[in-house]
Amino acid sequence: MILVTGATGTVGRLTLRRLPVGHAVRVLARDPSRVAVPHRNVEVVRADYGDPLSLRRALTGVHRALLVTNRVGGDDDAVFLRTAREAGVRQVVKLSAAAVADLQAQDLITRWQRDCETALTSSGLGWTLLRPRAFMSNAMSWGSSVRTEGVVRTLYGHTPNACVHPQDIADAAALALTEDCHVGRVYTLTGPQPLTAVEQTEQLAEVIGRRLRFEELEPHQARVALLRRYPGPVVDALLDSALRQKAGAKAQVLDTVRAVTGSQPRSFRTWAQEHAGVFAPDGNRRSGPLFSLEGALS
Ligand SMILES: NC(=O)c1ccc[n+]([C@@H]2O[C@H](COP(=O)([O-])OP(=O)(O)OC[C@H]3O[C@@H](n4cnc5c(N)ncnc54)[C@H](OP(=O)(O)O)[C@@H]3O)[C@@H](O)[C@H]2O)c1
């Protein structure tokens, strides 16, 4: 039995859809009604990392699990791993972040992810670490301003990030959950090229056939906007991370997606084509915050 967590979020949802029909799959969700179940072989169990009894129920009979957590500074990973070990789980595939490997990255969120990785690698369970760079889908956060004003606003728009398509992360996750050869492996996942926000804006404009403007935010403007959504320490972490991008720390392209999945990493243009509706003036309102929580972070 394979357990998928985070199935209402970006990577877990795509991973669930990628798992072959022949595998028995269980989804752990706080609200099962929000899970898009792809086929009959998928069972959905209501559980919460904060509720050990529900976790135990969800983990019983599971041999491999995808672990997605997002409560910065929390102990969800530790609680999940303890319960997984007791339940006899053999391997946990953890969604981490590329920044973990950067010794210059000492912000709160990266330190938390590092601690979570250590909790897994020292747990006695088999492990696989997925360390993606920024998700291309963080561009969803531009949806509202693109739709209504034709504008993309962010920090340090001329600095590159080798952002990765979430489907490539999900493809790697699905393989790690269904093949034996991924235990003890660390996969740092990037897209096919480093891209600046200005370049992303240009590509998005071409894809949706509209003129778009890029406006660079000053750090103090970004701070004010972020403080509307996140606590101060998380905002500090996001701004630190953006500074590392400005210094060029996130531009490196790696061959890992192709090496693991056998396919070339998907481009930002492809992502934009798939999500063009989000940016159309009459498009749907699936738009994220100014920054996705770790948007600037990996
Ligand atoms: N965005 C980026 O650019 C980026 C880059 C590198 C790494 N990352 C890492 O990616 C991870 C987030 O992945 P994502 O964006 O795919 O997820 P996401 O869209 O943020 O969704 C988080 C998922 O976790 C579930 N969850 C949260 N708290 C839970 C709890 N107490 N019990 C059970 N489930 C819970 C959520 O369920 P509900 O729907 O019930 O809330 C949701 O399904 C983070 O660890 C982040 O550090 C992100």
Asked if 130 and 195 sit in the same domain, the reply is no
* Contact in structure between 171 and 232 (CB atoms under 8 Å): no
Predicted TM-score of the model (pTM): 0.96
Query: Does 256 reside within a domain?
Result: no
pLDDT digits (tens, 9 = 90+) for 161-188: 999 999 999 999 999 999 999 999 999 9
Beta-strand runs (E) in 116-172: 126-132, 151-155
Q: Which of 196, 204, 115 is nearest to 157 (CA)?
A: 196
Please name the amino acid found at residue 211: R
Average pLDDT estimate for 114-138? 98
Tokens, residue 143: 């949806």
* 288 within ligand 1 shell (Cβ under 6 A): no
Query: Does 287 reside within a domain?
Result: no
- Give me the half-sphere count of Cα atoms (radius 13 Å) on the Cβ side of residue 168: 32
Asked if 125 and 198 sit in the same domain, the reply is no
Report residue 297's pLDDT band, with 50, 70 and 90 as the boundaries: very low
Asked if 117 and 18 sit in the same domain, the reply is yes
- Give me the half-sphere count of Cα atoms (radius 13 Å) on the Cβ side of residue 152: 26
Q: Which domain holds residue 239?
A: 136-162+191-251+264-279
* Contact in structure between 235 and 223 (CB atoms under 8 Å): yes
Report residue 40's pLDDT band, with 50, 70 and 90 as the boundaries: confident
Q: What is the mean pLDDT of the chain?
A: 94
pLDDT at residue 291, as a whole number: 44
∠ Cα 167 173 174 (to 5°): 90
Asked if 28 and 121 sit in the same domain, the reply is yes
* 294 within ligand 1 shell (Cβ under 6 A): yes
* 9 within ligand 1 shell (Cβ under 6 A): yes
Asked if 97 and 46 sit in the same domain, the reply is yes
pLDDT at residue 41, as a whole number: 87
Query: Does 241 reside within a domain?
Result: yes
Q: Is the pLDDT of residue 156 over 70?
A: yes
Please name the amino acid found at residue 264: Q
Report residue 282's pLDDT band, with 50, 70 and 90 as the boundaries: confident
What is the whole-number distance in angstroms between the Cα of residue 130 and the centre of ligand 1? 13
Q: Cα torsion for 279, 281, 286, 291, to the nearest 10°? A: 60
Angle between helices 10-18 and 166-178 in degrees, nearest 10: 50
Asked if 40 and 181 sit in the same domain, the reply is yes
Average pLDDT estimate for 114-133? 98
More confident residue, 41 or 29: 29
* 70 within ligand 1 shell (Cβ under 6 A): yes
Q: Is the pLDDT of residue 288 over 90?
A: no
**CATH number of domain containing 82:** 3.40.50.720
Query: Does 209 reside within a domain?
Result: yes
pLDDT at residue 283, as a whole number: 66
Asked if 243 and 203 sit in the same domain, the reply is yes
Tokens, residue 200: 């992303």
pLDDT digits (tens, 9 = 90+) for 236-261: 999 999 999 999 999 999 999 999 99
Asked if 173 and 207 sit in the same domain, the reply is no
Report residue 75's pLDDT band, with 50, 70 and 90 as the boundaries: very high
Asked if 38 and 177 sit in the same domain, the reply is yes
- What ligand 1 atom has the least distance to the C-alpha of 132? 6
**Total domain count for the chain?**
2
Q: Is the Cα torsion angle 195, 197, 198, 201 positive or negative in sign?
A: positive
For residue 116, count other CB atoms closer than 10 A to its CB.
25
Q: What is the DSSP letter of 123?
A: S
